[in-house]
């Protein structure tokens, strides 16, 4: 059985890496985000920078988000994350698991608090010629309030 699957697996890896440069690649991106728990749920926008290694099953992504909560007082919610993506070796549609650190800043009426924690999640990258798209769902363990965040974006 393994002898039959080995050539198929090698062919998939060859297809996934064919035409790609073996050097690390940096891809900037922009995204829309949804934080499900802050102020009853709020939308935001952000940017990201992904460092990928075409022949390795890991990537590093740094992302920042700014949310627009609907508050009765002057408030803001923003932050960022640095994650390692553990990707599956599929050529065009690439699912991944993510784990990393999270920083969040909450402000309400002039008082602000900073929180750090960690996040885990899953996502999918869709590669195309010249650009790509991604979707990610993550759960952030940041005291005092854990947060569920969705991101939907494009890469250049």
Q: 47 is written with which tokens?
A: 């940017």
79-89 confidence digits (pLDDT tens): 999 999 999 87
pTM reported for the whole predicted model: 0.78
pLDDT tens-digit map of 91-123: 788 899 999 999 999 888 778 889 999 999 999
High-pLDDT (> 90) share of the chain, %:
48
Instruction: Give residue limits of the domains in the chain.
Output: 2-155
How far apart, in whole angstroms, are the C-alpha atoms of residue 28 and residue 51?
A: 9
Pick the CATH number of 2-155 from 2.60.40.10, 2.40.160.20, 2.60.40.1730, 3.90.1150.10: 2.40.160.20
**How far is CA 12 from each of CA 19, 52, 68, 90, 91, rounded to the nearest angstrom?**
13, 18, 43, 7, 8
What Å distances lie between residue 17 and 10, 49, 53, 124, CA to CA?
11, 21, 10, 18
- Mean pLDDT, rounded, of the chain: 83
For 5-36, the pLDDT digits (tens) are 445 444 444 444 444 455 678 999 999 999 98
How far from 148 is each of 86, 96, 119, 121, 124, CA to CA, in Å? 20, 17, 9, 9, 17
CA end-to-end span of the chain? 41
């Amino acid at each position: 059985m393994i002898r039959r699957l080995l050539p198929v697996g090698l062919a998939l890896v060859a297809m996934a890496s064919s035409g790609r440069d073996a050097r690390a690649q940096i891809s900037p991106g922009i995204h829309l985000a949804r934080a499900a728990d802050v102020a009853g749920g709020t939308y935001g926008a952000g940017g990201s920078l992904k460092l990928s290694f075409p022949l390795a099953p890991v990537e590093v992504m740094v992302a920042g988000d700014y949310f627009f909560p609907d508050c009765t007082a002057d408030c803001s919610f923003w932050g960022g994350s640095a994650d390692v993506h553990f990707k599956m070796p599929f050529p065009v549609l690439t699912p991944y698991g993510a784990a990393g650190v999270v920083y969040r800043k909450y402000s309400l009426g002039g008082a602000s608090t900073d929180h750090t924690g960690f996040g885990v999640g899953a996502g999918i990258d869709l590669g195309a010629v010249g650009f790509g798209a991604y979707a990610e769902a993550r759960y952030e363990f940041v005291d005092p309030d854990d947060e569920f965040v969705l991101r939907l974006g494009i890469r250049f």
